[in-house]
């Protein structure tokens, strides 16, 4: 009997169900003696032994379904070694659940924080396989994560729709895109949507440069300007602050987010009306796009192959268009940032897109 545990952790996104479907269908294509244990709400389900037995039928018809049939939650890695409010050792509890069910492998779908805990469990002796889930596409070791392209499509559609109203009004429009630490979604959606200015966490901006771009567009007869702004965008002045100082400043910020701070500054400097659109969690919701359905199916099938071959301790990644296995210890704790000197940035600058820095 092959016993597989499965959980989805961290923020939800499109194609989580599709990826789990790929794993299960891949395993059942080779073996019938399989038991699938689905843990509810991420690592919380593993800690408190909250699970249900699943069959192949439970994974039928979910290829196009967004969210996750298992539910998810955020369990910060830095708290994993700390007892819960009742004194429970969370790591010991997860190991106990794993061994009590006699699991052969634990399949974990998640992003950066999820992978740090997955690697911790590997170090504790559990057999683990992970799949790269995050709309941010910021996982080290893989060229792509599922959820990313779907989020880009939604953010791009938002920019497209803003364009039609922008042409009717002499205003500045700010679209705040998800991305606290990295700007992959904002960069791709900004280029795809024809944004005039793209602001990323990796490229600190100068508000005077932004104002100058807006004025030059106005002088050239272009009455509107569209900014695609990552929620983690940061000014050059703030980028000089120490991490602790910046956190304290953000906590005291009178604005609900960076878009509102920018809006006030732009209005003061250009005397232009500014409107803000925040697509928010719509970027994580809905049905996965065709690309993500294909991608998640492929990495799910690759995970099934590794499990059947008893190859554990890996994340399934995409490199050069091929699915590969990457050791978990090489992935955990590393973020894949936008390279300010990458070809996409250079090409975007060539077509006149400003990144607010020069």
Count of C-beta atoms within a 10 Å radius of residue 240? 11
Check if 212 is active-site.
no
Separation CA 111–CA 318 (nearest Å): 15
Q: Does residue 312 contact residue 127 with C-beta atoms inside 8 Å?
A: yes
Whether the CA torsion 155, 232, 351, 148 is positive or negative: it is negative
Whether the CA torsion 223, 230, 288, 145 is positive or negative: it is positive
- Compute, in degrees rounded to 10, the torsion defined by CA atoms 229, 256, 244, 182: -30
Region for 275 from its dihedrals, namely left if φ exceeds 0, alpha if ψ lies in -120 to 50, beta otherwise: beta
Query: Given 33, 58, 84, 136, which residue is catalytic?
Result: 136
- Compute, in degrees rounded to 10, the torsion defined by CA atoms 211, 214, 220, 223: -140
Q: The tokens of 291 are what?
A: 């690309």
Query: Pick from 166, 179, 105, 194: which is nearest to 137 by CA?
Result: 179
Query: Pick from 93, 114, 98: which is nearest to 37 by CA?
Result: 98
Q: The tokens of 126 are what?
A: 């559990």
Query: Pick from 277, 266, 272: which is nearest to 161 by CA?
Result: 277
Count of C-beta atoms within a 10 Å radius of residue 334? 14
Active site residues: 136
């Amino acid at each position: 009997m092959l016993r597989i545990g499965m959980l989805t952790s961290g923020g939800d996104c499109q194609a989580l169900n599709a990826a789990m479907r790929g794993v299960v269908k891949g395993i059942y294509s080779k073996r019938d003696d399989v038991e699938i244990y689905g843990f509810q709400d991420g690592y919380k389900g593993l800690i408190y032994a909250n699970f249900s037995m699943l069959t192949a039928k439970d994974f039928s018809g979910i290829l196009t379904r967004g969210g996750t049939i298992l539910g998810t939650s955020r369990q910060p890695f830095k708290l994993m070694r700390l007892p819960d409010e009742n004194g429970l050792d969370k790591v010991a509890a997860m190991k106990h659940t794993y061994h009590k069910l006699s699991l052969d492998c634990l399949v974990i779908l998640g992003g950066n924080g999820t992978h740090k805990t997955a690697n911790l469990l590997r170090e504790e002796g559990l057999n683990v396989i992970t799949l790269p889930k995050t709309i941010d596409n910021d996982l080290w070791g893989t060229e792509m994560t599922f959820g990313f392209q779907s989020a880009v499509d939604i953010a791009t559609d938002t920019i497209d729709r803003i364009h039609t109203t922008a042409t009717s009004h002499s205003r500045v429009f700010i679209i705040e895109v998800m991305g606290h630490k990295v700007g992959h979604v904002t960069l791709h959606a900004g280029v795809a949507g024809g944004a005039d200015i793209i602001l990323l966490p990796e490229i600190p901006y100068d508000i005077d440069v932004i104002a100058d771009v807006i004025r030059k567009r106005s002088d050239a007869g272009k009455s509107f300007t569209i900014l695609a702004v990552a929620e983690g965008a940061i000014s050059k002045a703030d980028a000089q602050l120490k991490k602790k100082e910046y956190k304290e400043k953000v906590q005291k910020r009178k604005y609900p987010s960076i878009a509102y701070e920018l809006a006030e500054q732009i209005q003061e400097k250009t005397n232009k009306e500014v409107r803000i659109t925040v697509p928010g969690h719509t970027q994580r919701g809905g049905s996965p796009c065709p690309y993500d359905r294909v991608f998640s199916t492929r990495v799910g099938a690759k995970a099934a192959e590794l499990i059947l071959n008893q190859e554990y301790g890996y994340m399934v990644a995409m490199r050069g268009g091929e699915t590969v296995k990457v050791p978990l210890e090489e992935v955990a704790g590393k973020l894949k940032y936008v390279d300010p000197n990458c070809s996409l940035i250079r090409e975007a600058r060539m077509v006149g897109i400003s990144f607010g820095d020069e």
